[in-house]
Amino acid sequence: MAVLNGFFLLEGSAIHTYLPIAEQMREGKFRASDWVEGELPESSRAIQVFVPHAAELGLMGYESLADVPAGSVAVHTIEGVMMEADTCWSLGTQSLGRLIQQADAHESIVAHVGRFNTPGGSTSGLETFASIIAGTQKPFVSYAQQMCSAGYWAGSGANGGIVVGGRTAMLGSIGTKVSFRDYSNAMAAAGVVDHDIAATKSTNKNAAFEQAVKGNYKPIRQQLLDPLNEVFLDTVRQNRAGKLDSKLEDELLSGMVYIGEANVQNGLADRMGTFEDAVQLALDMVRNAAENGGSTPKNATNSTANTMFGKNKFSALTALAGLTGAAVTTPLVEAANDQLEEAGITGVALVSEAAYTELVAKAGRTDTAEAAVATAQKEATDAKAAQKTAEDAVAAAEKRAGEAEAEMERLAEQPGATVTNPRKSKEKNDVEGEASANDHQKTVDALHAKMLGEG
């Protein structure tokens, strides 16, 4: 329905290429299954990004922005005839616009590159899609292999400018035209008669087309083509303000198509380069914005030079310098350190936040362990000192006991009253054993006899 009933801004040769398909649709002969086998894989909707520190891996697809590495450049492919809704071949401008907005708001994305290979397409949803590209907060660079008509309307709004993708790249076709086929004679020959009945007050319903069928093109030109064309031209003038060759402006906005270097010379594009150059240009804008305090990206300036960015197109250091407010991954830090080493820069290295956090935690654990060791060592030293004190006390006590023992031995040897507590060894003791009962009786008898004698 969109193909048969919609309005399109297409480069001329593409119109003739796609007309047979439109004709098959009109006759009911076209089937999408004849062009595409099976359903589109879900990965066709994946987020496409270019990761600076993994440039050798090329374009990478992710199912979600949450999986995209920090510092990545989002790549949006606008290919074939642009349609608002998704088609059998590609995402529509509605879905593409939504992906651009989501990427622009995500912290892992630092810039965008739009890969344009389109002759143009439907006007439905075109202005909204073009406004999304023109309104990105992060750098957006258009890489043009073919960027014509509706494609140029959208791609010219890139705040990072336009890179022409080679000497055969096509840009332009900035203009508006309507083409349709009149099948009335063929239908009449087949016996088909059309009856068009309008409401009483709908005197101008489809009048412009009816006049065009009769050969009067003025109404459709005034009512549809000219107003639409003015919006188109005004958009391009605003997007390329100060860049279009003023002497060629009328020609540039007349529907002409230009090839390769001519687009740089006339101001429709900013420079020649490869897709990698377009990515690097976006990264350079990120770095410049960071150096300027994170200001809004400025449009790229005109350049007629075939700008290449050297062998090391994707510098991890450049990416790190431009990561304003975004997370830094460990692989990016490692790549940056590798580049420092390759450059012969010593005495400095970068560390990721995760590694730094681990180092701080490890340092804390080390401090705790060292404090525990110091405490244990002090306790061991104190214990040794206490043990030494105890050993000294024991030795002193043993010495005093020995001296007391010797003194008692000495006193035991003293005769008479000198002895206070007679104490002799078993060998020198006068008492051989306990006194018997007879011994006591003898003592008693002796005392009794003495008493009698005295009396």
| Same domain? 174 vs 258 | yes
CA distance 128 to 76: 16
Structural domain includes residue 329: no
| Same domain? 132 vs 263 | yes
Structural domain includes residue 91: yes
Identify the domain boundary among 262, 281, 300: 281
Structural domain includes residue 104: yes
Give residue 57's pLDDT.
72
Each residue's pLDDT tens digit, 211-243? 888 889 999 899 988 999 999 999 999 999 999
Q: What is the CATH number of the domain that holds 167?
A: 3.90.226.10
Structure tokens at 127: 């202005």
Give residue 89's pLDDT.
66
| Same domain? 247 vs 396 | no
Judge whether residue 436 has pLDDT over 80: no
For 228-343, strand residue ranges (E) read 257-259, 271-272
Structural domain includes residue 187: no
How does residue 427 score in pLDDT terms, banded at 50, 70 and 90? low
| Same domain? 158 vs 265 | yes
Judge whether residue 5 has pLDDT over 90: no
| CA neighbor of 138 nearest in space, from 109, 97, 108 | 109
| Same domain? 381 vs 267 | no
Provide the number of structural domains found in the chain.
2
DSSP tally for the chain: helices H, then strands E? 16, 11
| Same domain? 355 vs 272 | no
| Same domain? 274 vs 360 | no
| Same domain? 146 vs 269 | yes
Give residue 243's pLDDT.
95
Each residue's pLDDT tens digit, 357-411? 777 777 777 778 778 878 888 888 888 888 888 888 888 888 888 888 787 777 7
Give residue 257's pLDDT.
95
Give residue 356's pLDDT.
72
Give residue 445's pLDDT.
74
How does residue 294 score in pLDDT terms, banded at 50, 70 and 90? low
- Highest mean pLDDT among 143-147, 293-297, 414-418 belongs to 143-147
Structural domain includes residue 143: yes
Least confident piece of the model among 96-105, 255-264, 286-295, 332-341? 332-341
Domain of residue 362 covers 351-423
Phi, psi torsion values for 73, nearest 5 degrees: -105, 120
Q: What proportion of the chain, given as a percentage, has pLDDT over 70?
A: 72
Structural domain includes residue 72: yes
| Same domain? 273 vs 356 | no
Query: Between 260 and 386, where is the model more confident?
Result: 260
- Highest mean pLDDT among 198-202, 249-253, 348-352 belongs to 249-253
Each residue's pLDDT tens digit, 322-352? 444 444 556 667 767 776 777 777 777 777 6
| Same domain? 364 vs 243 | no
What contacts 361, CB < 8 A, 6 or more positions away?
A: none
Give residue 306's pLDDT.
34
Identify the domain boundary among 281, 296, 319: 281
Mean pLDDT of the chain: 78
Neighbour-count burial for 162-197, b at 16+ CB within 10 Å, e otherwise? bbbbeeebbbbbbbbeeeeeeeeeeeeeeeeeeeee
| Same domain? 261 vs 376 | no
Positive or negative, the CA dihedral 373, 375, 377, 383 is negative
Each residue's pLDDT tens digit, 24-60? 666 566 665 555 554 544 444 568 898 887 767 778 8
Identify the domain boundary among 239, 262, 281: 281
Each residue's pLDDT tens digit, 298-320? 444 443 333 333 333 344 554 55
| Same domain? 6 vs 117 | yes
